[in-house]
A and B are shown apart, each in its own frame.
Chain A
Amino acid sequence: MVEAIPSWKYFIFGGESTDFHEGATRSFGTVVNSACYLDIETLKWSTIHPENQTPADFPDPREYSAMSYDERNSRLMVFGGWNNGWLQSMYSLNVSKIVGPSYAITEIIPSLGQLSGKVPVTIKGCGFNDGNIQVIFTVGKTAVDTISSKNSCQTNATFENETTITAETPSFEAFGPKECTVQLQINGGDLTTTYASFSYFMNTRAYKSLCYGPGLLEDQAINTPAEFIIQARNDLGENRTSGRDQFQVKINTHGDNPVEIPNEIIDNDDG
């Protein structure tokens, strides 16, 4: 049993395999050399298919092997076992992509930002430590094992505490306004097996945006708050559907001694 984030994994290797029908006489099965794991949370069994390895690299089929987990290198260590005689060989199997690193990401706040990047984000998770923290944004909705410049970009992050880091989003203009996954890598270790989702949207453009409402009309009532709406729009002239854009409004009376009228901007987070 190996501790992993978000759920523990139960590994098995080798053993004897056959079909045992209930009530029927049991016979000997076939000794195998496959490795499988059970996700303790989902209770789903999966067979491990080691990458870049041929059957010749696999251990011989065996049963009764001793197995332990090398936490430092994320390896399963298999020693000995029985196959018509006791075996003395030792094998290791890297399961880092299944177990994942000792850190995990659970959330990114906010979960959307402009295409040009530079949006301050707070990333929540666990097991963070101070070091070279990279945040990887990848096009798509599934986590990746490796970073590829074809569909990913990354940025440095700042360690705040074990559960919080902060960063600024990188520009995603090379990929366009898309949904992406956010993963972490600390000190060159493995990418997190968990991820958070982030959406890039087209930047707001002042020359496409507009304002309207009674607060911009003639003959408003005095001593009464007057409202108007600022509608943010993107390059395509489409209404934005989220907030956090920054606007400032200055209202002054005309004349030689203009008086500034106080105002309040409310972000409805809907564009």
Chain B
Amino acid sequence: MNEDKPVKIDIQFLDDKGKWVPVRGSPYSASFSQKTPASANNLTGSAMTKHIPHSMERLITFMKETLQGSLIKDKDLTDTKVLISVKDNVELVSAENDRIMLQLDQVDESLKLL
């Protein structure tokens, strides 16, 4: 790649029924920049060492926020707006479950590289 362009990365697996199916998380998005040093592309390069703590920080923030929003302790459950807020948080966790689990697995595997 020799241009600053975003790309779509489609990763498929040939399953036991002979069918190509997308691997969890596929398609992925990535981009390239002329400002980035070549060493960043290494598996243990600067891109990964920056990405891992950043991912962990995002996961921790998400967990804190949704946990806070989902708790019913000390909340006025007779207030409809409060109830809807709790419900929204629970639904968000449920909807984001696959993405969060993938991120956790990616961080876990990435840490093994370093």
Residues of A whose CB lies within 8 Å of any CB of B are 114, 116, 118, 203-232, 245-255, 258, 261
Contacts and interface: CB of A to CB of B under 8 A. Distances in A.
B43 interface: yes
A246 B6 contact: no
A208 B25 CA distance: 10
Interface string B1-38: 11111111111111110001111111011111111111
A227 B21 CA distance: 21
Interface residues of B, number: 49
Contacts of A209: 13, 23-24
Interface string B78-114: 0000000000000000000000001001100110010
**Chain B contact residues: helix, strand, loop or mixed:** mixed
Contacts of A230: 11, 23
Contact of A222 (B16, B23, B29, B32): B32
A98 B48 CA distance: 61
Contacts of B106: 210-212
B109 A214 contact: no
Nearest to B6: A254
Contacts of A211: 11, 23-26, 28, 106
B37 A221 contact: yes
Contact of A224 (B16, B41, B102): B41
A247 B30 contact: no
A214 B22 contact: no
Interface of chain A, helix or strand or loop or mixed? Answer: loop
Contacts of A219: 31-33, 35-36, 40, 47
Nearest to A261: B1
Given A219-B33, A229-B109, A261-B1, A210 B7 contact: no
Contacts of B6: 253-254
A21 B98 CA distance: 80
B108 to A, nearest CB: 9
Contacts of A253: 3, 5-8
Nearest to A222: B32
A196 B98 CA distance: 42
B51 A217 contact: yes
A231 B16 CA distance: 17
B7 A207 contact: no
